[in-house]
Structure 1
């Protein structure tokens, strides 16, 4: 359960509000959220731009259900669709604003999907539109010992540096309007909030071995990438072709 989180990633409400202010200034009429999850950022954009309509695409039915409930609570049901389908070769574009936050893998099967995802995002955004790309980066190159403690099969090739990501975005037909990265505080809020409710439950149910092992394993992985794995939020402007 991740009930203590507003965003499924290292993104504070203050940063999200600033991003929404910047994106809504372009007055998008159509918003497409790739790998939308709960769709919180999508819904905030729709609240900020009353004339906009949004589409969220994801394969996780539980996340989509949460997004639909949130849309209903905010009176946005008639302006947004949460669709259980793959984003590969989606027909729901081009859109004036495309959100792809932590979801490059929804657009590519590659081990490092960023390059293919950026090419797809250029196809999915209108000329004059915007793309918000949230992408994992290495804040610094991990050591072999750090990699060994991360997710199974972790390799330095899994992510780019911020400079490499920006160069790749430019090579893919974009100019970076805004570049920012998650803070350590945002990461700690995310990682703590991700497990907090389960940790409290486990303290009252100490015999739950499977849950304890899972939580301990994730905490150990986090300690291996804490301060190493980062998250970039790039607001990208498509170059006219």
Structure 2
């Protein structure tokens, strides 16, 4: 039996990235200990991490910026459920050139591209300069950024996302040095493990895979199946155990 409904979107993900509950609790506790009064989340999605920081930092207010209206609506609903809707705003706008700062805490987890020129390539140095501009003196930045665990071969790059290049990411050491060059000191460095990646990758596709199994004759099934098969294959045969995710707690240099 088939239905005409579209597949639900990302209902099996708490965070839009390879981030476990245990790591999230540690990060939130550490960031809230600096007692931020204002929190800015760049490319916030539904703002799960933002909401948890606000819950752990009584009195703090937050702003989440994203261009995905559906994710922002999910964030507003979550804020209302947790009694935080009076302390947070979810704003549908580009983060490029944002004037929302300076904030005591800036979150930018898997979304540094939102700070770059939308008509140009991803520019890590430019994104870091923007984060330095948006954070208040004495504040903190949590940067979640991809890095190469090892430099991929040309054959491995060809099996990743379309147009994948070696300079899409840097090794961890070079990533941290770029943050230092932008005017930060790395107060804490940690990286996602394989289990976090597997939970994220499987959760990312779970809703669609279940929907495809139940709706093989849906008019959108063929295109959806082709898309999700490409995504899964690019992970399993391309960037699995090669692409990492670093969580850097950065302190701006006075």
Whether 1:233 and 2:241 are equivalent positions in the alignment is: no
How far, CA to CA, are the matches of 1:25 and 1:153 in structure 2?
Answer: 41
2:174 paired residue number: 164
Partner deviation per Cα, 1:169-197 (whole Å, 9 max, x = no partner)? 00100000000011111000000001112
Aligned-partner SS, 1:6: coil
Contact 1:112 1:157 in 2 (8 A): no
Partner deviation per Cα, 1:90-129 (whole Å, 9 max, x = no partner)? 1211000000011111111242321101101111111110
Structure-to-structure mapping, 1:1-241, within 5 angstroms: 1-109=9-117, 110-207=120-217, 208-223=221-236, 224-240=238-254
Contact 1:52 1:79 in 2 (8 A): yes
Contact 1:137 1:160 in 2 (8 A): yes
Q: How far off its partner does 1:88 sit? A: 1.6
Aligned-partner SS, 1:78: coil
Aligned-partner SS, 1:77: coil
Aligned-partner SS, 1:7: coil
Aligned-partner SS, 2:247: strand
Please report the TM-score for the alignment, with normalisation by the length of structure 1.
0.97
Partner deviation per Cα, 1:30-52 (whole Å, 9 max, x = no partner)? 00001111100000000001110
Aligned-partner SS, 2:185: strand
Contact 1:111 1:158 in 2 (8 A): no
How far, CA to CA, are the matches of 1:124 and 1:218 in structure 2?
Answer: 33
Question: Which structure 2 residue ranges, 5 or more long, are not aligned?
Answer: 1-8
Aligned-partner SS, 2:86: helix
Q: How far off its partner does 1:212 sit? A: 1.6
How far, CA to CA, are the matches of 2:214 and 2:93 in structure 1?
Answer: 38
How far, CA to CA, are the matches of 1:211 and 1:91 in structure 2?
Answer: 38
How far, CA to CA, are the matches of 1:123 and 1:188 in structure 2?
Answer: 34
How far, CA to CA, are the matches of 1:8 and 1:234 in structure 2?
Answer: 17
- Count of paired positions: 240
